A and B are shown apart, each in its own frame.
Chain A
Amino acid sequence: MIDFKTILSAKCVGIAGCGGLGSNCAVALARVGIGKLIIADFDEVTESNLNRQYFFLHQIGQKKVDALKENIRLINPIVTIEVHPIKLIPENIITLFKTCDVIVEAFDFADQKQMLIETVLSDMTGKPLVSGVGLAGWGDSNAIKVKRINNLYICGDATKEVSEEMPPLAPRVGIVANMQANVVLEILLK
């Protein structure tokens, strides 16, 4: 029986983006006792976030990284959390996440996701990166999968683009976010 608790307590995971994917993924990792989380997001909690993001009514207006840190503290106070309420760009991505064992890519916009993926693949070679995509709407659970290409793991449904008719909602977002956390465990416990 592998001593996963001891192994995880010595690991560090970077979370890029604390929205639907990032907040839920971070909470799942905190619950299983990850040692450290480095979380980054420039945004603040709004009411419309609550249909999928791991925040509460009284946190509206707070910085997401601060609200998430507080929520995790209430679940597992042993996790070390480093917060960065900033917008991520190639230069700070490399500095911020240098010490992470795995990076979770949890941005919403395609150009941001591409920027982070390209930065990690070319300037942080060998660093495992777990990206979350295509989580819109409801149903079609079986379309949500993990695709692996070397150190890049892509979790989600490769066909469902977010739109007004197909917004991101808690159930499907939660599946992808927890799938990302599950892939992180797979990488860390190899």
Chain B
Amino acid sequence: MKIILNNTETELNYSQITVKELLVIKKFTFKMLVIKINDKLVKNEEYANALIHNGDKVDVIHLISGG
């Protein structure tokens, strides 16, 4: 399937995947992430269940700690 990941067209060899699986595939390892699918926020506790489908716009914003 094709998705738009952080404004870039990205090809994935799956018909659908969860957010958690996407993070593993794309090696997004930062501790703090803000994730949106089609501009709707996906919370941390939903990562294992939230599904990404063909044509979805996915934003993964990684942030690091502050003070």
Q: Which residues of A contact B (CB under 8 A)?
A: 19-21, 52, 105-111, 113-115, 117-118, 121-122, 131-136, 149-150, 152, 154, 156, 158-162, 168, 173, 176
Contacts and interface: CB of A to CB of B under 8 A. Distances in A.
A168 B67 contact: yes
Across the A-B interface, the 8 shortest Cβ-Cβ residue pairs: A110-B32, A168-B67, A20-B67, A110-B31, A122-B41, A132-B66, A114-B32, A121-B41
20 contacts: A21-B67, A52-B67, A106-B66, A107-B66, A108-B67, A110-B63, A111-B32, A113-B63, A114-B63, A117-B34, A118-B43, A121-B41, A136-B67, A149-B34, A149-B59, A152-B34, A154-B61, A156-B66, A158-B62, A162-B67
Contacts of B39: 150
A113 B65 contact: yes
Nearest to B45: A118
B32 A113 contact: yes
Contacts, number: 76
A110 B30 CA distance: 9
B37 interface: no
B44 A110 contact: no
A118 B41 contact: yes
Contacts of A173: 67
Given A131-B66, A134-B63, 18 more contacts: A20-B67, A105-B66, A108-B65, A110-B63, A110-B65, A113-B32, A113-B66, A114-B34, A115-B44, A118-B44, A133-B64, A133-B65, A134-B64, A134-B66, A149-B34, A149-B59, A158-B63, A162-B65
Contact of B34 (A20, A108, A118): A118
B35 to A, nearest CB: 9
A110 B61 CA distance: 13
Given A111-B32, A117-B34, A131 B63 contact: yes
A109 B65 contact: yes
